């Protein structure tokens, strides 16, 4: 009888020990899973520290237009600084560029480098700005005195680089002017007219867009 009681006692102790071990293992498993989830959550936050909202981006530009008036392309209205502008993410990197039409530069384009507004490209004597969004390229025309040009410019890593261009001169007579001395370039290198046309024709298969310009008196509160 005593032997049977001893056997039962040992058996119960064994069951209780096994149960405690299983519970402890489950607790550790739950803890490990929770730690992994928290770690994943923390990583997802820290992996994209530079992404800011569209509203925050625009506020940086508005601040620059207000505080650095003579550094940003502007128009003068009744003695006040004003801006004809629009926002567009030309290079599709999640950061809008600021496009401004003004008195000094007909067009100027700015971007954000962190929280700093930096100039990308300026066109003093031209206009007709067009954007080819899937290529991250914009185009404008210009001219001064006896020369004219068309430029296709791409944006990469907060830098603007000429993708292609066409320029020419004019020869004037008493009653007319004649274009001559055409120069064609792709990525800064001279190319033939045929090569330039092939590049531009491929680019123009995509429909170009233009920005609607808003007007704002940046000096006003």
Q: Is the pLDDT of residue 115 over 50?
A: yes
Region 170-176 average pLDDT: 80
Residue 198 has pLDDT above 60, yes or no: yes
pLDDT of residue 221: 41
Per the DSSP assignment, residues forming a β-bridge with 189 are 186
Asked if residue 22 has pLDDT above 60, the reply is: no
Cα–Cα dist 87/60, whole Å: 12
Average pLDDT of the segment spanning 172-194: 90
CA distance 217 to 183: 41
pLDDT tier, 39 (very low <50, low <70, confident <90, very high otherwise): very low
| Three-class secondary structure of residue 142 per DSSP | strand
Give me the mean pLDDT over the 6-12 stretch: 48
Task: Identify which has the larger pLDDT, 114 or 78.
Answer: 114
Averaged over 7-25, what is the pLDDT?
47
123 or 76: which leads in pLDDT: 123
Q: Which residues of 2-34 are buried (b: 16+ CB within 10 A; e: fewer)?
A: eeeeeeeeeeeeeeeeeeeeeeeeeeeeeeeee
Whether pLDDT at 215 is above 90: no
> Is residue 50's pLDDT more than 70?
no
pLDDT digits (tens, 9 = 90+) for 62-81: 888 777 665 666 666 666 66
Range in 56-60, 173-177, 179-183 with the lowest mean pLDDT: 173-177
Average pLDDT over residues 20-30: 43
- Residues 95, 115: Cα–Cα separation, whole Å: 11
pLDDT band at 127 (very low <50, low <70, confident <90, very high): confident
Mean pLDDT over the full length of the chain? 75
What integer pLDDT is reported at residue 47 of this predicted model? 31
Q: pLDDT band at residue 139, thresholds of 50, 70 and 90?
A: very high
From the list 136, 117, 137, 107, the residue with the least C-alpha distance to 58 is: 117
Confidence of residue 19 (pLDDT cuts 50, 70, 90): very low
């Amino acid at each position: 009888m005593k032997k049977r009681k001893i056997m039962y006692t040992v058996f119960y102790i064994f069951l209780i020990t096994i149960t405690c071990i299983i519970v402890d293992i489950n607790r550790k498993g739950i803890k490990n899973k929770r730690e992994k989830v928290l770690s994943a959550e923390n990583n997802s936050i820290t992996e994209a520290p530079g992404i800011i909202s569209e509203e925050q981006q625009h506020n940086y530009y508005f601040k620059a237009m207000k505080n650095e008036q003579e550094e940003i392309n502007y128009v003068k209205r009744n003695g006040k600084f004003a801006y004809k502008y629009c926002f567009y993410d030309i290079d599709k990197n999640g950061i809008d560029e600021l496009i401004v039409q003004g008195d000094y530069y007909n067009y100027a384009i700015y971007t954000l480098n962190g929280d700093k507004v930096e100039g990308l490209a300026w066109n003093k004597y031209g206009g007709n700005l067009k954007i080819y969004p899937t290529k991250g390229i914009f185009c404008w025309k210009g001219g001064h005195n006896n020369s004219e040009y068309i430029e296709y410019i791409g944006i990469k890593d907060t830098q603007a680089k000429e993708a292609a261009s066409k320029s020419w001169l004019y020869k004037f007579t008493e009653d007319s002017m004649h274009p001559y001395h055409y120069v064609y370039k792709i990525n800064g290198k001279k190319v033939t007219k045929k090569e330039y046309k092939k590049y531009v024709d491929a680019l123009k298969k995509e429909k170009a867009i233009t920005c609607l310009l808003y007007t704002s008196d940046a000096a006003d509160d």
